[in-house]
């Protein structure tokens, strides 16, 4: 049985072909026009492949169209016409072994040859909105100290967990963690961007997969002041409930549940599918130094502030910030937290997680926690690139 999925995004477009047996293939790039030709051996042209062209959107940044047909007995040829000039798209083609509910997968990732610089994009956007003087944090929020104010523009990276091939946890009602986290993160982004002296960046702004290391690298490229990963996990027991906040631990988890959840989240790369043949030298270099005591201390302060605010809108799973070895929290120089908004495996909490009003409450609580953290821990000066002139 063959299944085909297409995941377009501004970062890259992924095509996944899944089969119950390993797929044999050959591919080559052809010029004028730019095309990726992929020959699949041992399968027959069927309705799934026949309908593949209809899966490509006109707005796909990298694919113009796909043609599929029988090349010779037992061989199906896919021709992917790419957008842009020659060399504008850099394909990666690799296979994945069965994991979770997936069988054997052949993955075609189409990346831009020159990825856009997220920091420069932020600077351009910021110049359109001049920096305003900050004499107070929020006149309407009496519970948040008004001084000291944030004296410069701060950048907060929001990381909606999972995405694309990696759905995350799935509730009994059919809700996917990847959809819940993206919706909450988008709401939180809008609230942060409306604040004076704050701006935010999403690690993903659509239903596509981003490897854990790339999420960290994106935060470092924009010189983020904070990193907030948003999740809605599941647990073995459907009665598990409440919100949690985690920070990085290099020496062991604070509970067996924390250890189990970190292992589950760290398996995201296996489920989503990472091309292990491509090494991110930038990331490898930046993560060599994990002697991050000062960063971990700031992460703990941020975690406590956010957890306290979440406790005003939901039961807390634990009354303290928990520690675990989450890979996505390993930026050595950015205070980072992982927020488990609630358990999607709990039917009652699943209903709340998909409710617009409740998602807004979660976003508001996280923002209040962030502002409370900055009130007590004013951001230090950054390099010129991170400032708005």
Give percent of the chain above pLDDT 70. Answer: 84
pLDDT score recorded for residue 332: 83
Q: What is the C-alpha to C-alpha distance for residues 164 and 7, in angstroms, rounded to an integer?
A: 7
Give the Å distances, CA to CA, from 319 to 39, 41, 55, 309, 323: 56, 56, 47, 12, 13
Q: What is the C-alpha to C-alpha distance for residues 366 and 229, in angstroms, rounded to an integer?
A: 11
Which among 60, 85, 112 is the end of a domain? 112
Q: What is the C-alpha to C-alpha distance for residues 32 and 182, in angstroms, rounded to an integer?
A: 38
Which among 71, 93, 112 is the end of a domain? 112
Residue 181 and residue 154 share a domain: yes
Residue 107 and residue 142 share a domain: no
Burial 49-63 (b: 16+ CB within 10 A, else e): beebeeebeeebbbb
For residue 248 the two structure tokens come to 């990085």
Domain count, the chain: 2
Residue 257 and residue 207 share a domain: yes
Residue 229 and residue 104 share a domain: no
Give the residue numbers spanning the domain of 29.
Answer: 2-112
pLDDT score recorded for residue 147: 47
Residue 156 and residue 75 share a domain: no
Residue 152 and residue 105 share a domain: no
Tens digit of pLDDT per residue, the chain (389 long)? 789 999 999 999 999 999 999 999 999 999 888 999 999 998 888 888 888 999 999 999 999 999 999 888 889 999 999 987 545 888 999 999 999 899 999 999 999 988 777 776 676 666 555 545 444 444 444 454 444 466 789 999 999 999 999 999 999 999 999 999 999 999 999 999 999 999 999 999 999 999 999 999 999 999 999 999 999 988 878 888 999 999 998 777 777 788 878 888 888 988 998 887 765 544 444 444 444 567 889 999 999 999 999 999 999 998 999 998 898 998 888 999 999 999 999 999 999 999 999 999 999 999 999 999 999 998 876 544 344 33
Helices (H), the chain: 47-50, 118-128, 177-193, 212-221, 256-266, 268-272, 281-286, 293-310, 347-353, 356-376
Burial class (CB in 10 A: 0-12, 13-18, 19+), 267: middle
Taking each continuous run of H as one helix and of E as one strand, the counts in the chain are 10, 14
* H-run or E-run covering 43: none
Cα dihedral value 277, 280, 286, 290, nearest 10 = -30
Give the Å distances, CA to CA, from 205 to 131, 151, 234, 274, 340: 25, 28, 23, 19, 19
For residue 63, list its beta bridge partners: 82
Residue 165 and residue 303 share a domain: yes
Q: What is the pLDDT of residues 307-337, one digit of tens each?
A: 999 999 999 998 999 998 898 998 888 999 9
Q: What is the pLDDT of residues 46-60, one digit of tens each?
A: 888 888 999 999 999
pLDDT score recorded for residue 138: 44
Q: What is the C-alpha to C-alpha distance for residues 150 and 134, in angstroms, rounded to an integer?
A: 6
pLDDT score recorded for residue 290: 46
Which among 112, 130, 149 is the end of a domain? 112
* H-run or E-run covering 3: strand 2-7
For residue 228, list its beta bridge partners: 158, 337
pLDDT score recorded for residue 237: 80
Burial class (CB in 10 A: 0-12, 13-18, 19+), 377: middle
Residue 321 and residue 204 share a domain: yes
For residue 304, list its beta bridge partners: none
Residue 131 and residue 85 share a domain: no
**Domain CATH for 10:** 2.60.40.3500
Residue 129 and residue 74 share a domain: no
Residue 9 and residue 124 share a domain: no
**Domain CATH for 303:** 3.40.630.40
pLDDT score recorded for residue 339: 98
* Cβ atoms within 10 Å, residue 308: 17
Residue 125 and residue 101 share a domain: no
């Amino acid at each position: 049985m063959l299944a085909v999925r297409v995941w377009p995004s501004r970062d890259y477009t992924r095509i996944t072909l899944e089969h119950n047996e390993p797929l044999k293939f050959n591919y080559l790039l052809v010029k004028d026009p730019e095309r990726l030709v992929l020959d699949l051996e041992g399968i027959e042209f069927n309705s799934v492949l026949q309908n593949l062209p209809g899966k490509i959107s006109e707005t796909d940044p990298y694919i113009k169209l796909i043609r599929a047909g029988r090349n010779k007995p037992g061989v199906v040829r896919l021709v992917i016409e790419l957008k842009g000039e020659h060399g504008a798209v850099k394909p990666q083609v690799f296979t994945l072994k069965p994991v979770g509910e997936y069988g054997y997968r052949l993955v075609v990732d189409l990346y831009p040859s020159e990825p856009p610089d997220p920091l420069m994009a932020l600077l351009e956007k910021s110049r359109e909105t001049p920096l305003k003087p900050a004499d107070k944090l929020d006149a309407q929020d009496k519970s948040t100290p008004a001084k000291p104010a944030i004296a410069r523009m701060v950048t907060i990276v929001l990381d909606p967990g999972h995405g694309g091939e990696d759905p995350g946890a799935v509730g009994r009602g059919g809700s996917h963690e990847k959809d819940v986290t993206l919706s909450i993160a988008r709401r939180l982004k809008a609230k942060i961007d409306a604040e004076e002296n704050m701006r935010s960046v999403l690690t993903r702004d659509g239903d596509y997969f981003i490897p854990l290391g790339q999420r960290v690298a994106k935060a470092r490229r924009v010189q983020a002041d904070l990193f907030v990963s948003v999740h809605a996990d599941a647990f073995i027991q459907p009665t598990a409930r409440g919100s949690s906040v985690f920070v990085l631990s290099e020496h062991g988890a604070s509970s067996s549940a924390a250890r189990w959840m970190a292992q589950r989240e760290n398996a995201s790369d296996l489920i989503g599918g990472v091309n292990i043949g491509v090494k991110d030298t930038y990331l490898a270099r930046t993560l060599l130094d994990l002697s991050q005591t000062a960063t971990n201390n700031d992460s703990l302060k941020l975690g406590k502030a956010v957890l306290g605010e979440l406790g005003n809108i939901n039961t807390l799973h634990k009354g303290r910030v928990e520690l675990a070895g989450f890979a996505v929290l390993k930026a050595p120089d950015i205070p980072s937290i992982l927020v488990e908004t609630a358990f999607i495996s709990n039917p009652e909490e699943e209903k709340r997680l998909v409710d617009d009003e409740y998602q807004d409450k979660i976003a508001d609580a996280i923002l209040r926690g962030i502002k409370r953290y900055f009130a007590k821990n004013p951001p230090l000066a950054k390099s010129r690139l991170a400032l708005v002139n």
